[in-house]
């Protein structure tokens, strides 16, 4: 069996993979590991727990809270709030641990459990591994006044909104913004903070009933937002995902503005304000070449990482950088938060529109998105892709053909016998042609069962 913790906590079908029993056990094991590492020394341990609106989050958060309290941890139950809100509140309250119950943009039947350490940071792999090893062990249970106490954290949403408003570089008066909350965790605080920032707000996808999260709304389904922006003649639209750790935008004409374009706009904004640390943006290898070219023109360095927000964050913290993110709209503003925050990203993007007086479409035009073609080549020996002479010769040939006008990227899937062939070029036809040729070589040379 593989590692229980993925890149974003433990995730699976609620009540099948992610059960109440597992939630209790993980909470207890996390308390024990942190206690052993000295995290609770000299004080009563404290945790902040939150969830997105999924029906299963009700019993999973109850189980998590029960597990923590049974292990002697006092719990602030913050209820339904975005993932970045729980990260912030963990730091804000001086808690030793934060727990978020969410499966982000996944469909409603899924759920997940994600832990934050003191300060609102994701737990290191070694700590997650230690928690996994301690599941269901025998332990001495606290009694009497040593059991944890449970309190509702009523001010959690308000504290988070105040934090976002403090990070706002320019108020939003005069802007009409449509927000799509994906019937998710930002359904209340998203509209609240945009209104308090001065915008006229039209809200869609903000009626969570426990069953409709991400269902036809949010950053994975932009059509309702595109329609609403045009129908209401708004200046822009912002769509969150289920736990609001990411966002995508839509300009006044209903055109999508993706994570690369958002990062390019924010990088220029931060540079202009003198707060883009080392004039550097951190992005993954999947970010569009058009963004890289635009940043180079503007004197901004792009540091590339492996795919995954954890690698972006790692690169940012190691280099002391302020801005990073992914094409998916998962953007990290490290001066204001420890994790991707869709509400904060949307606010800062809207503030740039307001302060510049330029439409979002004009700001997004700083970069030209090159056509990007992705082909998943299945049933191949992905582990030989980096060392196979014929494959690497084909890659070098493609790179040479695209010199100055495009690029090639071959990536192994983390979970399947699949090699992903990604090609960018000046035209979609050229990108498709090169991608198909490369995919053919990969399929032929790395077919499973062939000799090495």
400 marked among binding-site residues: no
450 marked among binding-site residues: no
Reading the block at residue 385, the tokens are: 């892709």
Question: Which of 187, 171, 140, 196 lies closest to 28, judged by CA?
Answer: 140
Reading the block at residue 246, the tokens are: 């990411």
Question: Which of 108, 111, 9 lies closest to 51, judged by CA?
Answer: 111
Cα(407)–Cα(392) distance, rounded to whole angstroms?
A: 14
Counts of helices then strands in the chain (DSSP H, E): 14, 19
Output b/e per residue, 393-417; b: 16+ Cβ within 10 A. ebbeebeeebeeebbbbbbbeeeee
* 97 DSSP β-pair partners: 47, 117
Q: Any catalytic annotation for residue 356?
A: no
Contacts of 353 (CB under 8 A, 6+ apart): 175, 235, 236, 359, 360, 363
Say which of 102, 104, 219, 328 is annotated catalytic: 104
Of the CA atoms within 13 Å of residue 38, those in its CB half-sphere come to 0
For tokens 């740039």, the residue is 352
187 marked among binding-site residues: no
74 marked among binding-site residues: no
Contact of 410 with 382, CB cutoff 8 Å: no
Quote helix, strand, coil % in the chain, to nearest 5.
40, 20, 40
Question: Which of 53, 55, 77, 341 lies closest to 187, judged by CA?
Answer: 53
Residue 231 CA from chain centroid, whole number? 29
Contact of 116 with 65, CB cutoff 8 Å: no
Binding-site residues for Mg(2+) sit at 104, 241, 243, 245
* Residue numbers belonging to the annotated binding site: 104, 241, 243, 245
Catalytic residue ranges: 104
């Amino acid at each position: 069996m593989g590692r229980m913790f993925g890149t974003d906590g433990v995730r699976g079908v609620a009540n099948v993979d992610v059960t109440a029993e597992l939630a209790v056990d993980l909470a207890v094991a996390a308390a024990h590991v942190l206690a052993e590492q000295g995290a609770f020394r000299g004080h009563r341990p404290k945790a902040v727990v939150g969830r997105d609106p999924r029906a299963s989050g009700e019993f999973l958060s109850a189980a998590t809270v029960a597990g923590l309290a049974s292990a002697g941890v006092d719990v602030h139950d913050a209820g339904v709030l975005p993932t970045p809100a729980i990260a912030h509140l963990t730091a804000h309250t001086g808690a030793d641990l934060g727990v978020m119950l969410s499966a982000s943009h996944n469909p409603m039947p899924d759920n997940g459990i994600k832990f934050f350490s003191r300060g609102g940071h994701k737990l290191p792999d070694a700590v997650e591994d230690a928690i996994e090893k301690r599941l269901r062990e025998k332990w001495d249970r606290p009694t009497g006044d040593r059991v944890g106490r449970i309190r509702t954290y009523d001010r959690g949403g308000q504290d988070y909104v105040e934090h976002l408003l403090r990070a706002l570089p320019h108020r939003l008066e005069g802007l009409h913004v449509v927000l799509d909350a994906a019937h998710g965790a930002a359904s209340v605080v998203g509209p609240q903070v945009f209104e308090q920032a001065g915008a006229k707000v039209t809200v869609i996808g903000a009626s969570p009933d426990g069953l409709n999260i991400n269902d036809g709304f949010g950053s994975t389904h932009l059509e309702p937002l595109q329609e609403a922006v045009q129908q209401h003649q708004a200046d822009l639209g912002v769509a969150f995902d289920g736990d609001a750790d990411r966002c995508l935008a839509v300009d006044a004409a209903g055109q999508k503005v993706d994570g690369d374009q958002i990062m390019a706009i924010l990088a220029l904004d931060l540079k202009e304000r003198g707060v883009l640390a080392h004039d550097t943006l951190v992005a993954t290898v999947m970010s569009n070449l058009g963004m890289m070219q635009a940043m180079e023109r503007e004197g901004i360095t792009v540091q590339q990482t492996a795919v995954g927000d954890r690698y972006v964050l790692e690169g940012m913290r190691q280099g002391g950088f302020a801005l990073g993110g992914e094409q998916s709209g998962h953007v990290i503003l490290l001066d204001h938060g420890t994790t991707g925050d869709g509400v904060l990203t949307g606010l800062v993007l809207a503030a740039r529109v307001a302060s510049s007086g330029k439409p979002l479409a004009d700001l997004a035009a700083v970069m030209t998105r090159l056509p990007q073609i992705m082909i998943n080549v299945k049933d191949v020996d992905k582990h030989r892709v980096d060392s196979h002479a014929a494959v690497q010769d084909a890659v070098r040939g493609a790179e040479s053909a695209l010199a100055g006008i495009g690029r090639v990227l071959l990536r192994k899937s983390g979970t399947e016998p699949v090699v992903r062939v990604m090609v960018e070029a000046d035209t979609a036809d050229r990108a498709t042609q090169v991608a198909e040729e490369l995919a053919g070589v990969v399929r032929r040379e790395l077919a499973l069962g062939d000799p090495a």
